[in-house]
Amino acid sequence: MNVTQRDFQLDWLKCFVAVVDAGSLSSAAGEIHRSQSAVSMQLRKLEDAAGHRLLERDSRSLELTPEGHKLLGYARRMLDLQAQAQAALKDEELTGSVRLGVPDDYAAKYLTPVLRRFAPRHAGVDIVLSCEQSTALIPRVAAGELDLALISRDNARRGTLLFHEPMVWVGSEQFELWRRDPLPIAVYEEASLARRSVLKALALQGRNHRVVYNSSSLAGQIAAVESGLAVAVLTQCSAPPHLQVLGSQHGLGPLEPMEVAVYRSRASRGSKAVDSLHALLVNTLRIGEAALAPSPGRQ
């Protein structure tokens, strides 16, 4: 069969969707295990076939054109249909459920792209998702209440290390609280690794501070900063673009990154559904660590 110039190839659509989901060509390349130049070439072929520019991109951002928005939904459905067809032809289709935990910080950036790949391939598997802080997820996995969790680990023996997530100081440009002495800070719960990192960094600096806000909620931390109540420390992937990233020029020292790992319960051994999702998490996030890492200072 001769392929006409305007036929869309699935490889082109796969690259297109990966770039949109990852937010950059380099991140998409890590996600689908291709070189950045190969991803760029596939996009050019797709745009040539479509007869339209689908993405507007520069060194700092990537945006869909109106035609790109139109094509994206069709591309997702075509890729999902391909995955469903492949699953239907397998000798054994996965069924069951996976109880999965993730902190709010990591859900959108890291977990969503993985589930977007997993769900259409394994339509018979139900995902039961719990969004909590790592301090709550770790004991639940250990007790067998959850099968898997994406966590900031507090022990090198917990799970499989995937990547290191940078931590950043954030404040509101409107209030310039970093000038105050003592420094007003918002912190997570007592057992939080992020809280320990904040207090350790301030102690090493000899910086006077006072805790003015406690919350285990990411939304609560962001609200404290937005309202001018405090500065906070967030994972870089969760820092909203409207908040100011603070650093040495503001008198705030470096922070230790989080070790992000996938932690599996012993009770889930033997579950092929859990096996499959665990393997996809490891292969996607560990192999793509360099590509997934946001640029310094801003997500």
List of residues 6+ apart from 145 with CB closer than 8 A: 99, 265
CA nearest neighbour of 168 among 100, 216, 236? 236
Could you report the per-residue pLDDT of 96-134, keeping only the tens digit for each? 999 999 999 999 899 998 998 898 888 889 999 999 999
Q: Which domains does the chain have, with CATH numbers?
A: 10-88 (1.10.10.10), 96-164+259-292 (3.40.190.10), 167-256 (3.40.190.10)
Phi–psi pair at 176, nearest 5 degrees:
50, 50
Residue-averaged pLDDT of the chain: 87
**Model confidence at 88: pLDDT above 80:** no
CA nearest neighbour of 106 among 151, 169, 153? 151
Could you report the per-residue pLDDT of 242-260, keeping only the tens digit for each? 999 999 999 999 999 999 9
Per-residue 3-state assignment (H helix, E strand, C coil) for the chain:
CCCCCCCCCHHHHHHHHHHHHHCCHHHHHHHHCCCHHHHHHHHHHHHHHHCCCCEEECCCCEEECHHHHHHHHHHHHHHHHHHHHHHHCCCCCCCEEEEEEECHHHHHHHHHHHHHHHHHHCCCEEEEEEECCHHHHHHHHHCCCCCEEEEECCCCCCCEEEEEECEEEEECCCCCHHHCCCEEEEECCCCCHHHHHHHHHHHHHCCCEEEEEECCCHHHHHHHHHCCCCEEEEEHHHCCCCCEEECHHHCCCCCCCEEEEEEECHHHCCCHHHHHHHHHHHHHHHCCHHHHCCCCCCC
Q: Angle between the 112-121 and 66-88 helix axes, to the nearest 10 degrees?
A: 50
Q: Would you give the distance in Å from CA 161 to the centre of its chain?
A: 15
Task: Report the pLDDT value the prediction gives residue 48, as an integer from 0 to 100.
Answer: 92
Ranked by mean pLDDT, the top range of 147-151, 152-156, 196-200, 265-269 is 147-151
CA nearest neighbour of 39 among 56, 58, 63, 19? 19
pLDDT band at 90 (very low <50, low <70, confident <90, very high): low
Q: Angle between the 10-22 and 36-50 helix axes, to the nearest 10 degrees?
A: 110
When comparing pLDDT for 3 and 272, which is higher? 272
Alpha-carbon distance 64 to 79, whole Å?
19
Long-range Cβ contacts of 52-61 (<8 Å, 24+ apart): 54/16, 55/16, 55/19, 55/20, 57/25
Taken in order 174, 176, 182, 184, the sign of the CA dihedral is: positive
Could you report the per-residue pLDDT of 41-61, keeping only the tens digit for each? 999 999 999 999 999 987 667
